[in-house]
Every structure is written in structure tokens, then in C-alpha cells.
Structure 1
């Protein structure tokens, strides 16, 4: 059987620069992996979010569609870079390592894979993508806040759908399932708030690169710790 490293996109490929290209990459990754693979589970979740963002770029949903697209592409690029690093045998950021390590574990459930990927991406990558976008656009954080909240609203709706689709049933037994207690300890809304706070902290430290780097490294490690908790084998 072909290994995950062999079937994922090659790391030499440049990262996408439009939402449409991001969607194409995610579809390619999803088509190449077994559905039960932990990365494939998260990839499908993230693909549906990115497709929705792409649809809303032309509907007036975002205050600044160009800025929103750049943020979305830079954000997605950090996930795709982690995929490429794993495919090349390199270590991805600490926040992503639990997912790539546990991706084939038979006692980790699909909902855990989905939430661990969301945790890594929101908890670590989002703050850095916001900083990158502000620097590239020579913008202040306030310019991104409105569309940041709009994307957050889409993510919240998606999280509810994920929990409904991937949480095991029947409902009467959910309260006794350890998964219910595990995922109930993590909140997308709190993760979003923490990401914005981390972004403001990094932006405030932009003139102190050594401190900013240390801050980012500690953020990466702490988000990775949460990811290991979310991927606790339950069966």
C-alpha cells in the first residue's frame, strides 16, 4: 500500500496564492488519503470552510474581500506547509505534530482528529497569519477585525455541524461516552479569542524580534500540548 508520505503533494510545490488554488490543493490531499486518516478527516473539515469563504468573497459578506482572501490564503498556507513538511520527513510545527503522529491510531475517533487540527490551526497558525497579512498590507489590526469576526462566525457554525456529524450516538448514551467529556473541554470560541490576543501580542512585539520569536515558539508548544490531550485514545 502506498504510504501517506508518497501520496501527499510534493513539498517542492509553491504554496497557493488564491482561495481557488487552496481549495484545489485540499481536494488533492483529500483524494490521496484514506478517509479514516486523521489528516484526511481534518482536511475535509477545512476544505468545507475554505469553499464557503470562497463563495462569500463575491457576495458582499466581507468588508474587504481582497484583504480577507489574503488572510485566508496565508492562513491555509501554514497548514499546507505542515503537510508538506510531514511528506518530506521533516518535523512540522509542534502544534501539528500530535495530529500527524496519531493520524492512524485506531483508538482515536474522527471527531478528535477534526478538533485537534482545528486547535492547531486556530490556536497557532491564525495569529501568525494575521501578523503576516498586516505586514504585507501595511495595515493595523483594526483593519482585519471585522472580517476576522465574520470568518469566526462561519467557523462556529461549522464546529456545530462537525460535532453533530462526528459525535457518536445514540444521544441517550452520549453523556456516558468519554468523547463527550473530552471535546466538551475545548471551545472554538475561546480558541478564536486566544488567537486574536496572541496576534495583538505578536504585533506589539514586532519591533522586538527575539521576544516575538520566543512568544511564537511558546505558543506553538502550548497549542501542541492541547492537541495531545484532544487525541487521547479512548477505546
Structure 2
């Protein structure tokens, strides 16, 4: 199973997933595109000293990313990844989920399950509190995912701005799945998981996985009204899957250029 040993290798794997997704017209490339930007920003943050412990943050980032990379290649090999990732990947093969849902399904699995586990794996019960600052820093970067979601959606379907203003329930859907809530839940889980004996961690992971999959099901089916609006949005999304991925790459590149400027 492919696994990265450096942040540069993480970026390389993400590039491979994105390019393969373009060739296959696969929605799996949507989350990978946003996640690549996050990884690049974490790398830059380590280089410019934004984190209190750059060495630990690099280790955390690699463990964190490898959980996604492993799940992706397990799914492609028709093996069984974690339940929440399996659900997210299966939804990528369905016509109806909109770009927003594909991205939130990836964020849900990666933050609500993977981030807490990765944080615990680079910590001990005694020193995990010292990770809090850098944990919040990486989540500040991850929060840009949510900010970038609307920009990507508006690019793909400009009329979305009208619908977002017209239907407060859509805004509530996004607020309910907030990065702040995910961050707090992931940190709480990290503190619980670090105290779990090694021989009980698999069972603890499976229990958490099941709970996060329930959130995924709500993202996939958020109720009659919101689902109906999403189906309407989906019918008018512009471009092929490959074009949507390319649009997102262009938007994220512009975001990075603005940040540098």
C-alpha cells in the first residue's frame, strides 16, 4: 500500500490522485484538489516557523495524510477502507451529490476521524496539551477548505449565490457542518484516543468511525427541502468532472497567489 514518508511525497501522491481522477472523470479528485492546497500551506507554515514544533507538525501532517492516501488506494483496490471513507468514496460514483457534498464528505472523514487519531499518534497523555496551538493552526488552514467551497461552487454554477441568499436552510446546513465544530470534536477525540491502551485502539477507532459515518449520511441526505435544492443545483452544474477539478485548481492557485501578495 502506498504511503508517504515526507510532505513532498504527500503532495506527489495527491497530484497522482488528482490527475488520475481527471482521466477517469472521477469526483474523487474534488477533495484531493482542496487537500493538496492545505498540505502545501502546512509545508509553508513549517518552513516559515508558523508552528511551535515544526518537526512534530511535519510528522503529524504525514500520518494524517497517509490515512487518506491509504483509504483511497484501498478503495481503488476494492478493499475495505474505514467506513466513513468508504461511504464518501461510494458517493463519488453517484450522479446526484453536488460538489459541496463531495467536499464535506471528505472533510468529515478526514477531520472527524483521521485528525484526532493522527494527533494522538504524535503525542502522549503527558504532552498532548502542548500540541493544542499547532492543532489549532492546522485547523485554521483546514478552515480555508470551507471558505473555498463556496468560491468553487459559484464558479461552477454562478446562480448559486441567489439560492444561498434565498434559502436560509442551505446556510444552516453549512453552519451545522462547521469547521469549528469539527475541530472541537477532533480535539476532544484526540485527548480521549491518546489515553486508550494500544490493544483497545482498533475497537475505539471502529466505534468513532461508525459515529462519523452517521454524520456522512446526514451530509448525503440532509432532509427533503435541502436535498431537493441540491438536486436542482446538480442539474445545472456546469462542465465535466475534469473541468470542475481544473476550475478548483485555478481558484486555489489564485488564493495562494493572493496570500503571498
TM-score grouping bracket, smaller chain normalisation: 0.7 to 0.9
Q: CA deviation digits over 1:92-140, x for unaligned, max 9?
A: 10111221111122211011101110010000011111121126xx972
- Distance in 1 between residues matched to 2:73 and 2:172, nearest whole Å: 33
* Residue 139 of structure 2: aligned partner: 152
User: Do 2:101 and 2:220's aligned partners in 1 also have CA atoms closer than 8 Å?
Assistant: yes
Alignment of 1:26 onto 2:14: yes
User: Do 2:21 and 2:27's aligned partners in 1 also have CA atoms closer than 8 Å?
Assistant: no
Aligned length, in residue pairs: 219
* Offset, 1:214: 3.0
* Residue 140 of structure 1: aligned partner: 127
Unaligned runs of 5+ in 2: 222-226, 232-261
Alignment of 1:215 onto 2:204: yes
- The CA RMSD measured in Å over matched residues stands at 2.2
Q: CA deviation digits over 1:46-98, x for unaligned, max 9?
A: 01100111122111111111110000000000000101111111111011122
- State the TM-score, normalizing by the size of structure 2: 0.77
- Distance in 1 between residues matched to 2:190 and 2:163, nearest whole Å: 40
* Residue 206 of structure 1: aligned partner: 197
* Residue 16 of structure 1: aligned partner: 4
- State the TM-score, normalizing by the size of structure 1: 0.85
**After superposition, where does 1:175-214 map in structure 2 within 5 Å?**
175-176=166-167, 179-206=170-197, 209-210=199-200, 212-214=201-203
- Distance in 2 between residues matched to 1:82 and 1:160, nearest whole Å: 25
Q: Which has the higher helix share?
A: 2
